[in-house]
Amino acid sequence: MSGLFVTDEQVAHARALAREITEPIFELIGRNTTVSVERTVLRWFGVDGVGNLGAPLVNLMVDRLQAAGVLNRGAAFWYGRALRMGATSPLDAVERLTAAPLERLAPLSHEDEAKLRDEVRAEARAAVDELKARVAKREALKREFPMPPAPHKYVIVATGNIFDDLDQARAAAQAGADVIAVIRSTAQSLLDYVPQGATTEGFGGTYATQENFRIMREALDDESEKLGRYVQLTNYSSGLCMSEIAFMAAYERLDMLLNDAMYGILFRDINLRRTFIDQYFSRRICALAGIIINTGEDNYITTADAYDAAHTVIASQFINERFALRAGLKDEQLGLGHSYEIDPHRPETLLLELSQAMLVRRCFPAAPLKYMPPTKHKETDIFFSHVYDSMAHLVAMWTRQGIQLLGMMTEAMHTPLLADRYEALKAASYVHRAARGIDQEFTVKEDGLVANRARFVFGKALELLEECRADGMVAAIGRGRFGDVKRSETGGKGLDGVVEKASDYFNPFLDLMEGRA
């Protein structure tokens, strides 16, 4: 399949275009930080917990720094300043800084500031080493309990109560699930803070909190030992707290995170600048922690027609890949998203879906890829839905997808019951077993429907990439080129959390992750 449809030169040209398209965005990222990035820095230093009124301490401290107009120097600098003021713990540092008249503090001497930065760098190195040790524990478990071959069967739990999620996750793992995704409570991505502790109430899902991550990872470690195979855990690193959630997930040893360059902009109306800056820092953390990211191109063809907008998926995947590689992620960490979503009433849909999935695999041969099930055209006919999902299983095997989210026969009716998940896993396991090796047995006609469709889609994707290069990513998003959704550079939620860096901005974690320290 590696030589099908398009030439190596054409694929290389698409990558070159993506590099040019993203370069101005990286200039924006380099000039700015955000309140979420700075809160992440504080969390990494060990600042945790909530204040008297329930607000997270990291929010209290960053809000204080921003109100004083000094956040542009970096929260790490002010954390170090608190240590120099005699703080004996992260909590003490927060209390000193929220009480001090920061605007009127006497500047440090050059020598004292150099010492401050050295002390904070040393603490940051220790914190990074601690994170790496926790990641090593996860990797040791994977070696002890090997995972089955791909595609890994990925199912969701979404009760709203983390303890009910545990029961559902264990049952799914016992029925054959390889990846458990804890769906986030509706609209959590629009909260500019992370809830604290274990949560038992949520709408459409369960809140993403560090304690919930710990509880679920611990339960799946126990289940992995019982089953003799490692069960992966994923959650969502997106929205206004993208980088904070990435750190908490890395610390609690999650395996995957939904993390997309444009999803928050398009589908949650989060400010464009805020999203790009936050996603870069979050992806640096994912790269350090060996977390596989899942991108969100499958969403484009739920708001736009999957047949007509297929090229937008390919173009976005090249852009998402470039953002990820620049942040230090490796090919094997790129779960680029796409899905089986063409209207099932259209003739030859199996061939059309096979063409799209083959094209994605052709363009990204080393990436695991994340294949989503049909959802947009699901009906309340559960028997049809079951067959519909099975066709996606076949395509997943034929095109060597790495991660396959399983559809449910009761999709769009209610949150899946244990029995629904069991049936989905049973059917997927059968097709994966029955069709293994199919990609080695059949070749595709160079002038047939599958190949011609793929060449057409790739050609349209190149046209879109050329437009993005000529006019810029911001203009393309403003015209609704992705997902038929239009957004402006200064619109959306969270722009007030973007801060231009001072010339002496200090973030030792970023320095370490970028190899400058």
Instruction: Give the pLDDT confidence of 255-265 residue by residue, as tens digits.
Output: 999 999 999 99
Residue pLDDT, tens place only, 488-506: 999 999 999 999 999 999 9
User: Around Cβ 24, how many Cβ atoms within 10 Å?
Assistant: 12
Residue pLDDT, tens place only, 333-345: 999 999 999 999 9
Q: In this structure, are strands 32-34 and 498-500 parallel, antiparallel, or unpaired?
A: antiparallel
Q: Nearest-CA neighbor of 451 among 351, 347, 361?
A: 351
Instruction: Please say whether the beta carbons of 238 and 266 come within 8 A.
Output: no
Strand runs labelled E in 92-221: 152-157, 179-182
User: Which amino acid does the sequence have at 291?
Assistant: I
Better-predicted residue by pLDDT, 319 or 105: 319
Q: Nearest-CA neighbor of 76 among 510, 489, 417?
A: 510
pTM of this structure: 0.96
Instruction: Please say whether the beta carbons of 28 and 276 come within 8 A.
Output: yes
Q: What percent of the chain has pLDDT over 90?
A: 89
What are the φ/ψ torsions at residue 372 (nearest 5 degrees)? -95, 150
Residue pLDDT, tens place only, 419-456: 899 999 999 999 999 999 999 999 999 999 999 999 99
Instruction: Please say whether the beta carbons of 318 and 17 come within 8 A.
Output: yes
Residue pLDDT, tens place only, 20-33: 999 999 999 999 99
The strand pairing partners of 334, in sequence order, are 293
Q: In this structure, are strands 498-500 and 337-339 parallel, antiparallel, or unpaired?
A: unpaired
| SS3 label, residue 370 | strand
User: Which amino acid does the sequence have at 410?
Assistant: T
Q: What percent of the chain has pLDDT over 70?
A: 99
Instruction: State the pLDDT at residue 2.
Output: 44
Instruction: State the pLDDT at residue 353.
Output: 98
Please, which residues have CB within 8 angstroms of residue 258's CB and are 6 or more apart in sequence?
Answer: 181, 234, 235, 236, 237, 238, 293, 294, 295, 296
Please state the rounded mean pLDDT for residues 401-427: 90
**What band does 1 get if pLDDT is binned at 50, 70 and 90?**
very low
Give me the CATH topology for the region 145-452: TIM Barrel (3.20.20)
Quote the tokens at residue 374.
Answer: 């049909």
Residues recognised as catalytic: 263, 298, 370
Instruction: State the pLDDT at residue 415.
Output: 74
Please state the rounded mean pLDDT for residues 299-318: 95
Quote the tokens at residue 224.
Answer: 């992995």
**What band does 3 get if pLDDT is binned at 50, 70 and 90?**
low
Question: Whole-number mean pLDDT of the chain?
Answer: 95
The strand pairing partners of 182, in sequence order, are 157
Better-predicted residue by pLDDT, 293 or 4: 293
Distance of CA 240 to the CA centre of its chain: 13
Q: Nearest-CA neighbor of 208 among 172, 249, 166, 243?
A: 249
Distance of CA 314 to the CA centre of its chain: 18
Residue pLDDT, tens place only, 194-246: 999 999 999 989 999 999 999 999 999 999 999 999 999 999 999 999 999 99
Burial class (CB in 10 A: 0-12, 13-18, 19+), 445: exposed
Pairwise CA distance, residues 441 & 426, whole Å? 25
